[in-house]
Structure 1
Amino acid sequence: MIWALGIFAGAMVVPAVAAHASVEDSEVLAAYVQARAADASGALGQSARLHGAALALDPNNKILAARTLRQAIAAGDRPLAVQAARILDKAGELAPDGRMLVMAEALRRKQWKEAGLQIDGIEEDEVFSFLTPLLRGWLAFGARKGDPLAFLNQASTNALADAYAAEHRPLLLLARGKKEGVAELAKAASDDRAHSQRLRIAGAAILADEGDRKAALTLLEGDLPPIAIAREQLVAGKKLKGAIDTAQAGVAQLLVRLAVDLNAQNAGQLALSFARVATFLAPENSETWLVTSELLAAQDQHEAGLAAIANITADDPFASTAADTKLKLLIAAGRQEEALSQAEAAVAQPDADADDWARLGDLHVRMERPEDGAEAYGEAIARADSAVPGSTPKWALWLMRGSALIEADHWPEAKTALQTAYKLGPQEAQVLNYLGYSQLERRENMEEAERLIREASRLQPNDAAITDSLGWAYYLRGNLIDAIKTLEKAVQGQPADVTINEHLGDAYYSAGRRIDARYAWNAALVYADEEAAVRLRAKIEKGLKPELVSP
């Protein structure tokens, strides 16, 4: 069936593909149909190779070159992608992301003049022209011509470009041996995002390479796992990986940030192109592989995602993140038993730590084995006191255990675990919300539950899930006015969320707003699972009865 689909899809565009064939049309057509069939079956690497074979038979076919470029970038086949891009460039039909690839290839080869010409082309294309001051800054650094920071100063006229420049100015300062970059980088990367952690590690690596370990350590303060691991490596006298001290590394870091931002705007295919180009430029940068893997997984290319994540080495500060991602991808690819085997092998090692057991617990929970998950989290907790720096905090392990015990329908034990998490992390919004909401669901300790959730909301006022919990607490305690106002805010944050829409519908109905209630319930019904759908349909048909109130 799937091969038939591939042939049909190929046949729909065959006239355009074969229109200018320089060999027998039948040869091009056969190669192209095979490529489309591989594409339809999800064989990304094979599809790219077959598209390349078709393009070799008809090297002047612009439509085929465009498809080959897209497939080759997605598959990570740099030589083929560059070949296709150059065909399109010669024909004057190279898209902006393709031009970024050609520019990156020139940088990779240290062909500075050619890179500059391609940056001029990016500016003329306009779509990504806001990046050109930063690109020219890194080009000037690589070519040792001109003042890189003078180019970055031009970014101040564009708010979007200026936001990127705030990250790259300190990196360029540090790469040029100017220590004022330390404070600037600490400010630009002050949040807890993985991207910010990566920037701080990169800056610390530059400083360490220059022999300034004290300054490097100032960028590695805190208990976030990658930061703590990098700090431990530095203190132990090991070389810190990840310095951004070349034009290639700088542009790669720029492109991977752009990929994350594009993905947030639902431009996943374009985001993948830029992430892949970043891997071509700086394969030693683990963030490029993590982002590429995530983007591939979002397109159901799990095997390709696994191949990408395999590029992160065991001594990288983000190795634990990569291990978590690998297990998730194995499960998504239908290789659950392989994932389980790897996780069990890890905990069987003499040096197995809390994170190894936590990873096994996560896997059991995803495989709908919550009791096994709770047991594994218990083992993780037992090892947490002697865990290596940067491992999962103990409060988080108790939270995970509590969550697994709830899934296993062991509420008394779950409540004890969540209360322990609260004692260890009294200012952790996740703990406050989970403990509070779990009690709301069981209609117990309502006043205390509301207090916990209110504090969680104070800590994270823009978290839609926590806002929903607070609105639901208001509802259950009879405060309809604040309930509706709060739940409406939660819906604005997560308009497609089933639970939030159902909660809002219940609140509307109780306030006499019957039409609004049914509208909210219908919105919840769109993505509801079967159990929730039965309850929602009953409410839509009969109205809100006591037995139909949301859990």
Structure 2
Amino acid sequence: MTQTCPSPASRRPSLTLALLAALIGSTALPALAQDGERPAPRPTEAQSQVPAGGPTTDGPAPAVAADTPAVVQDAPPMQGLAGPYLAARMATVENDFRAAARYFVQAAAHDPDDIYLQDSALVALASAGEVDKASELAADLFRQDRPTELAGLLERARLVRAEDWDGVVTLIDTTRNADLPLNEDLMDGTIRAWALLGAGRATEAVAAFEAMAATEDLTPIVNYHLALARALAGDYETADRLIVQSEAGGHLMGLIARVQILSQLDRRDEAMALLDSVEGLEAEPQLVALRQRLEQDQPVPFDVVAGPGDGIAHLLLSFASALASSPDPEPLALIHARLAAWIAPRNPEARLMAAQLLQDRQQFDLAEAEFEAVRRMGQMRPQAELSRIDALSRAERPDEAEKAALALTAAYPGLPQSWIALGDVMRSQEKYSEAVPSYDTALDLLAEAPPEIRWFPLYARGIALERAGQFDRAEADLLAALEIRPDHASLLNYLGYSWIDRNQNLERALGMIKRAAELSPGDGYILDSLAWAYFRLGRFDDAVAPMEQAIATMASDPLVNDHLGDIYWKVGRQREAQIQWQRALSLEPGESGDVDPDRIRAKLDRGLDAVMEDEDTPVATHPNQAPKTEADATE
């Protein structure tokens, strides 16, 4: 299992110029791809859009430990190499970084000559947040003259964290990729320039930044770092010119940096105008607080970076975002975010990125440690919390989702999105009556908002009211939402189906559901609604085709099978009806709450006609078609 040590020229990570050209932009973090094969994968050439920025605070942040992972539980000891290795691989596939770290360390101890195992241990330890242990292992590899790409990155991070700036420069000069000119090497070139600044060699540092900025593809991100360095030295005029050229105003951290620089130049009106141009400003509390300080003529310090370590943390976050945003997301994204937090422990952006990456990989316990660190800094971010609530809810962790939503409404009671999130969490738990007041509060806060902003809470409250048995209020909300979005397929279907279940407005309901089917062909729920509308109108032959189409897409849904049985019965296909009812029973309909298994048994015993004669009112059989959140309802 021994693997040849990589050559010195390949011992450190680098991004290609194609990727670097797009290193300014969105901060969105998509889900990470599974990758358990490569010990230290090199970044891809995929185009990405990421912020050039990194850490910031709106004031001095309290000290927070560099690492706050949950305690790694001991994994069962295993004899030999095969057991720990296979267990580590299984843990890696499941993104269980704690177990993977334990088992890869065991495996590496059994075969210390295998570089793959050593690198795999580095990946798992760093991903689990045990960066101290990963750094020690990397240092051992250097002492043995067997450094890998990841070991080189960890060694750089260790020296930066220790503020050994001369050591950083020496390490880069002796181990960097000689095939790539330093002025084209974003990672090592930028780290080295910051280290020169930290070592008191400011003239050399500026010259190094400027040499890199001469490479056109690197200019935006290098100018951002040079602007931070100039501002750190008090040269705000040059810093402002450079940060404008860096296009950093297109992301949150760059925007804050420029506002702080403008404040130092006593250009507060420009700074406030810049903030006022930000769409959704009210959802970013640090921007709101920053604007208030400017408006009240309070001091606004430049504190986006406090030293070279913070600047390097910015760089690592840019790499983390690029690696996470690529079409083939890299496992190293989380490692870069972990290293940024390790180097700059008071950096809320690094914590948030690590938390979101862990959340994407369903590692909620590890993610919660990072979210908690951010909260201790007083840096709770509504957008990140909303993402966290949604992820917890979709992962079927309702208690945690509800707790997080309640905390968000308590922290930001004036933020409508927090109340909508709480309503969605309650609704997903079928606490419909409890969901309604949350939507009430959100709609009160949105009273003066444009109709397009109000449509989803109206729709969601309508769903909650309908399920809570308050159909008069529900109908009013659903009609109001439909007036705003008259061609929204699921909304047309929901209201149309609600009327059909109550034998109300059947012709209008049928027209609405037909329109929904045109807008969203192939949607099983809408096809079920269309067939059931025909059934309620007594047009049984017309109901067969759409219901058979619905069952083709929703074969395991007990409600749709029950409906198809009823329709078959009405068109004289009794044997097929009984088969569908029996299938509906086999799908455990009682668990969903939409279908009464005793009623199905009665139909099997006595037939549909006899059962319907005994019923005073239509049976409400609403399918589970309601969107969980606004994202689900967007078309």
TM-score band, normalised by shorter chain: 0.5 to 0.7
Deviates more, 1:248-257 or 1:147-156: 147-156
The reply to whether residue 250 of structure 1 matches residue 311 of structure 2 is yes
Question: Matched residue of 2:456: which SS?
Answer: helix
Q: Distance in 1 between matches of 2:338 and 2:179?
A: 21
Change (3 A) 1:80 1:315: closer
Corresponding residue for residue 376 of structure 1: 438
What are the superposed Cα offsets for residues 408-445 of structure 1, whole Å, 9 maximum, x if unpaired? Answer: 7868634635877xxxxxxxxxxxxxx475289869xx
1:311 to 355, 373, 382: 373
1:232 to 280, 289, 292: 292
Corresponding residue for residue 201 of structure 1: 256
TM-score, L = length of structure 1: 0.61
Corresponding residue for residue 420 of structure 2: 358
Contact 1:55 1:68 in 2 (8 A): yes
Change (3 A) 1:400 1:142: farther
Q: Distance in 1 between matches of 2:246 and 2:482?
A: 35
1:116 to 169, 177, 201: 169
Contact 2:189 2:212 in 1 (8 A): yes
| Cα offset, 1:109, TM superposition | 0.3
Change (3 A) 1:150 1:377: farther
Amino acid of the structure 1 residue aligned with 2:153: M
What are the superposed Cα offsets for residues 181-238 of structure 1, whole Å, 9 maximum, x if unpaired? Answer: 235435645655xxx2122324555777x79694894564445233223333666758
Amino acid of the structure 2 residue aligned with 1:66: D
| Cα offset, 1:141, TM superposition | 1.7
Identity of aligned residues (%): 21
Contact 1:167 1:188 in 2 (8 A): yes
Amino acid of the structure 2 residue aligned with 1:124: A
In the TM superposition, what are the counterparts of 1:351-500 in structure 2 within 5 Å?
Answer: 354-364=416-426, 375-383=437-445, 397-402=453-458, 404=460, 413-414=477-478, 416-417=480-481, 435=485, 437-438=487-488
2:134 to 81, 85, 93: 81
Q: Distance in 1 between matches of 2:412 and 2:148?
A: 53
Contact 1:112 1:143 in 2 (8 A): yes
What are the superposed Cα offsets for residues 262-311 of structure 1, whole Å, 9 maximum, x if unpaired? Answer: 22222330222212211111122222122222222333323222222222
Q: 5+ residue gaps in structure 2?
A: 1-35, 40-77, 467-473, 494-514, 524-551, 558-634
| Cα offset, 1:71, TM superposition | 0.3
In the TM superposition, what are the counterparts of 1:40-439 in structure 2 within 5 Å?
Answer: 42-52=95-105, 55=108, 61-120=114-173, 121-124=175-178, 126=180, 129-147=185-203, 148-180=205-237, 181-186=239-244, 188-189=246-247, 196-204=251-259, 214=268, 217-218=271-272, 220-223=275-278, 224=281, 225-226=283-284, 227-232=287-292, 243-265=304-326, 266-313=328-375, 316=378, 319-344=381-406, 347=409, 354-364=416-426, 375-383=437-445, 397-402=453-458, 404=460, 413-414=477-478, 416-417=480-481, 435=485, 437-438=487-488
Higher helix share goes to which structure?
Answer: 1
Contact 2:92 2:100 in 1 (8 A): yes
Amino acid of the structure 2 residue aligned with 1:285: N
Q: Distance in 2 between matches of 1:316 and 1:213?
A: 28
Amino acid of the structure 2 residue aligned with 1:295: L
| Cα offset, 1:140, TM superposition | 1.7
Corresponding residue for residue 496 of structure 2: none
Change (3 A) 1:123 1:47: same
Q: Distance in 2 between matches of 1:295 and 1:366?
A: 24
Contact 2:442 2:457 in 1 (8 A): no
Contact 2:212 2:222 in 1 (8 A): yes
Q: Distance in 2 between matches of 1:353 and 1:118?
A: 49
Q: Distance in 2 between matches of 1:174 and 1:262?
A: 28
Question: Matched residue of 1:268: which SS?
Answer: coil
Q: Distance in 2 between matches of 1:117 and 1:221?
A: 45
Amino acid of the structure 1 residue aligned with 2:130: D
Contact 1:303 1:333 in 2 (8 A): no
Question: Matched residue of 2:196: which SS?
Answer: helix
Larger Rg: 2
Corresponding residue for residue 20 of structure 1: none
Amino acid of the structure 2 residue aligned with 1:398: R
Q: Distance in 2 between matches of 1:344 and 1:294?
A: 20
| Cα offset, 1:256, TM superposition | 0.6
Q: How many residues align?
A: 414
Amino acid of the structure 2 residue aligned with 1:155: M
Amino acid of the structure 2 residue aligned with 1:401: P
| Cα offset, 1:407, TM superposition | 6.3
Q: Which has the higher contact order (CA 8 A, sep 6+)?
A: 2
Change (3 A) 1:86 1:232: same
Amino acid of the structure 2 residue aligned with 1:413: D
What are the superposed Cα offsets for residues 8-29 of structure 1, whole Å, 9 maximum, x if unpaired? Answer: xx9xx9xxxxxxxxxxx94666
Amino acid of the structure 1 residue aligned with 2:256: I
Contact 2:91 2:99 in 1 (8 A): yes
Amino acid of the structure 2 residue aligned with 1:103: R
Corresponding residue for residue 471 of structure 2: none
Contact 1:52 1:80 in 2 (8 A): no
Change (3 A) 1:399 1:159: farther
| Cα offset, 1:360, TM superposition | 1.0
Amino acid of the structure 1 residue aligned with 2:156: M
Deviates more, 1:315-324 or 1:267-276: 315-324
Question: Matched residue of 1:311: which SS?
Answer: helix
Q: Distance in 1 between matches of 2:421 and 2:301?
A: 25
Change (3 A) 1:32 1:247: same
What are the superposed Cα offsets for residues 134-189 of structure 1, whole Å, 9 maximum, x if unpaired? Answer: 22221122111142222122223434322321322221221111122235435645
Q: Distance in 1 between matches of 2:317 and 2:522?
A: 34
Change (3 A) 1:354 1:70: same
Q: Distance in 2 between matches of 1:441 and 1:346?
A: 28
Q: Distance in 1 between matches of 2:122 and 2:421?
A: 37
Q: Distance in 2 between matches of 1:122 and 1:419?
A: 62
Q: Distance in 2 between matches of 1:216 and 1:314?
A: 32
Amino acid of the structure 2 residue aligned with 1:230: L
Contact 1:175 1:245 in 2 (8 A): yes
Corresponding residue for residue 523 of structure 1: none
Q: Distance in 2 between matches of 1:349 and 1:243?
A: 24
Amino acid of the structure 1 residue aligned with 2:480: T
Change (3 A) 1:397 1:94: farther
